[in-house]
Amino acid sequence: MKLCVCGNSTDDSGTLCPRCAALQSLELKIGATGEEIKAAYHLLVKVWHPDRFANDATLKAAADEKLKAINAAYLLLTSTSAKETRKRWSPRAAGGRARSKPAVGVATVRANPEARTRTGTIRRIILAFAALGAVQRLVLLCCAVGASAFFAKLLDSQMASDPATAHVYMEYRQAIAQEIHSSRTRIFDQMQHSLRAINPFRSPSAAAPPVLATQPTIQPAPPTPTPTAHASKKPQRPTLRLLPYITVGLTRDEVTAIAGQPDSATDNSLAYKGAKIDLKDGVVSGWKIDPIHSALRVKLWPDAPVDTTQHYFGVGATKNDVLAIQGTPTSFTEDEFGYGASEVYFQNNRVVRWKDDPSSVPLRVVSR
């Protein structure tokens, strides 16, 4: 029986085994990998495709025979038995079968002090690199956060100072600030409600928390809880409550029912923290609110239908137009609407002029 150079038995008609003969057909070496076999097959199929020799019948017939041999060799090499043979094959054994190398097990490491010392040294090196990588990642994260804050501050200053973008940018920033404030207020109110519900010392007859209103309604202030034996001697910090809207036409009693007793009061005004409510003939006629520091909510609705498609106002616009475009003012009198540091002035219910402060709240006004 003849043996191939790889150690397998050959056919009687040749000096190579079927696998080596197939590799030779694909112009590959004995130790070729699966990726190399596939790449060589696709290349030879393109080279020997019969359609490339359509004008010469002799060459086309020869290419067809060559392509059949290439396909047969590829099918033999990619079969299951051929894959198993390729796994057992080692390219280091060029003159025969690859000899397996005994694996070093746990018993070998335990029996060899030098191997145990080398393993411990490698473990310590790996742990040192892992710790160094964590420190480097932490430093990189801190640098990235600092750089992001610096560039955000630089961008904010540039956008606010550029006349071309200041109007839109300040309006966007003010909207974000108001949204953050309203979200924080809502979260605090929900936390207060949850804590009140799970309070073990709450009286069973305690009144339910006030219901939030979307239209001006009269909501009585919650009663002051009576002290109990378990009450803490440390003064409790007052929680922020989301109050119903205050609007024009409410009486003094209705305002105090919503907002509680004022910090100071006169015949024509009620003063709260960050807010002042103006009264005329005993009813609300105006206000001045700081939305950041005041818990009061004010709302001014148009008293007639308005065109909701308008996005800007100018001289001659009505108060209703300004309300529909700009929203409820933070300060309000009979002849003046204030939006932060920006102000709109009226005469006979018509806009006559304004003062726009883009750094506070930009006004949606047409160019003059």
**DSSP symbol at 342:** E
Domain-located, residue 300? no
Least confident of 152-166, 199-213, 339-353: 199-213
Which pTM value belongs to this model? Answer: 0.36
* 55 burial type by CB count under 10 A (0-12 exposed, 13-18 middle, 19+ buried): exposed
Confidence check: pLDDT of 238 > 70: no
Distance of CA 245 to the CA centre of its chain: 33
pLDDT tens digits, residue range 331-344? 989 899 999 889 99
Mean per-residue pLDDT of the chain? 77
Do 75 and 26 share a domain, yes or no? yes
> pLDDT digits over 8-32, tens only?
777 666 677 888 888 888 888 877 8
SS3 202: coil
Indicate whether 4 belongs to any domain.
Answer: no
CATH of the domain at 84: 1.10.287.110
Q: Are residues 84 and 114 in the same domain?
A: no
Q: In terms of domains, do 73 and 117 share one?
A: no
Nearest CA to 328 out of 352, 297, 296 is that of 297
